[in-house]
Amino acid sequence: MVATKVGSEIPGQGKGLSQAWIMRQAEGSLKRLQTDYIDLYQSHRDDPNTPVEETLEAYAQLVQQGKVRAIGCSNFTAERIKESLAASCKHGWLRYESLQPHYNLYERESYETSLEPLVLQEKLAVVSYYSLASGFLTGKYRGQNDLSKKSARARSKEIFERPRLPYFASA
């Protein structure tokens, strides 16, 4: 399976979910991945400056051309997913079939409170990112001394300064 995303900034080139950007980036992804089609093409993050209809129409064109088989979204709010699903239904376009949220045993609230009910209602597939909380849930970081790498330091404030949830309490 080939999956890739569109929407994040490429310095000096652009970003977003406009039709022109999606079409351009799809061609680049196909070339880099050396394939004729993308199984799952995901909107990396919402683009509030682009109407959902424009984004979904671009995906519809890529599907019609045989370049994309399914679409998904990542880092969208429940409201924006609902808006996108309604637009897909209204126009008969392919809808988002998956969501890639930030979700793990430590960082659960935003997914479980607003996204999970929608995911269940709409039967969307979920493929989380940071599933192991950047290594925190593996036991890799046991204290401040373990935070020698830059990526770990960046997450340390988030992880070590939050109150511990009951399922992480020390015995």
How does DSSP assign the chain, residue by residue?
Answer: --EEEE-S-BTTTB-S--HHHHHHHHHHHHHHHT-S-EEEEEE-S--TTS-HHHHHHHHHHHHHTTSEEEEEEES--HHHHHHHHHHHHHHT---EEEEE-B--SSS-HHIIIIIHHHHHHHT-EE--BSTTGGGGGGT---SGGG--SHHHHHHHHHHHTSPPPGGG---
Residue 59 burial class via C-beta count within 10 angstroms: exposed 0-12, middle 13-18, buried 19 and up: buried
**Domains defined for the chain, CATH in brackets:** 3-131 (3.20.20.100), 141-171 (no CATH)
- Amino acid, res. 112: E
User: CA 114, 38, 74 angle in degrees (round to 5)?
Assistant: 15
pLDDT of residue 167: 42
pLDDT of residue 20: 96
pLDDT of residue 168: 42
Length of the chain: 171
Per-residue pLDDT of the chain (171 residues; tens, 9 = 90+): 999 999 998 899 899 999 999 999 999 999 999 999 999 999 999 999 999 999 999 999 999 999 999 999 999 999 999 999 999 999 999 999 999 999 988 889 989 999 999 999 999 999 998 888 777 777 776 666 666 665 555 555 555 555 544 444 443
